[in-house]
Amino acid sequence: MSPQNRRAHRRYTLRLAAEVRTATAGFTATTRDLSEGGCCIESAYPLDDGAQVGMSLYLVVDGIEDVHQPPLQVRARVQWSAANPDAPAAIRHVSGLHFEDMTPQQAQWLAGVLARCTPAT
């Protein structure tokens, strides 16, 4: 692994619908990318570094959630969060999340989705 990329998992550019639940609120987001270890999301709301969140990730086909594929329900820890005041309001906040305590079933769901994707460059 190069010194510039210290990530443990290969990232895939993949846009999934996400529901994020914090200790005080819930909101929708979209993944920017996804890996076996976590994801990057774009949303209208900020997240606090270090916060634990609950997430539901939904496959999307032609802009509609895939009813044949149940969502991935997982816990994640916010590794970093940044604001982009020049972005549209719906994607003004970007956060990197690390999945925590995944079960074998959750890991299998994720591996199955990633197996159909092309890695990000």
Q: Identify whether 17 is part of a domain.
A: yes
**Residue 26: what pLDDT?**
96
E-strand spans in 59-121? 60-61, 64-65, 72-83, 93-100
pLDDT digits (tens), the chain, 121 positions: 344 456 677 889 888 999 999 999 999 999 999 999 999 999 999 999 999 999 999 988 767 677 778 899 999 999 999 998 889 988 999 999 999 999 999 999 999 999 888 777 6
Residue 19 lies in a domain: yes
| 53 is a domain residue | yes
* pLDDT value of position 121: 62
- State the Cα angle at 20 between 65 and 72, rounded to 5°: 50
Residue type, 7: R
Instruction: Please give the radius of gyration of the chain, using alpha carbons only, rounded to the nearest integer.
Output: 14
Domain count, the chain: 1
- Domain membership of residue 60 (yes or no) is yes
Asked whether residue 34 is assigned to any structural domain, the reply reads yes
Q: How far is Cα 29 from Cα 51, in angstroms, rounded to an integer?
A: 16
Tell me the residue range of the domain where 97 lies: 12-113
With respect to residue 109, please indicate whether it lies within any of the assigned structural domains: yes
Whether the Cβ atoms of residue 14 and residue 117 lie closer than 8 Å to each other: yes
| Reported pTM | 0.85
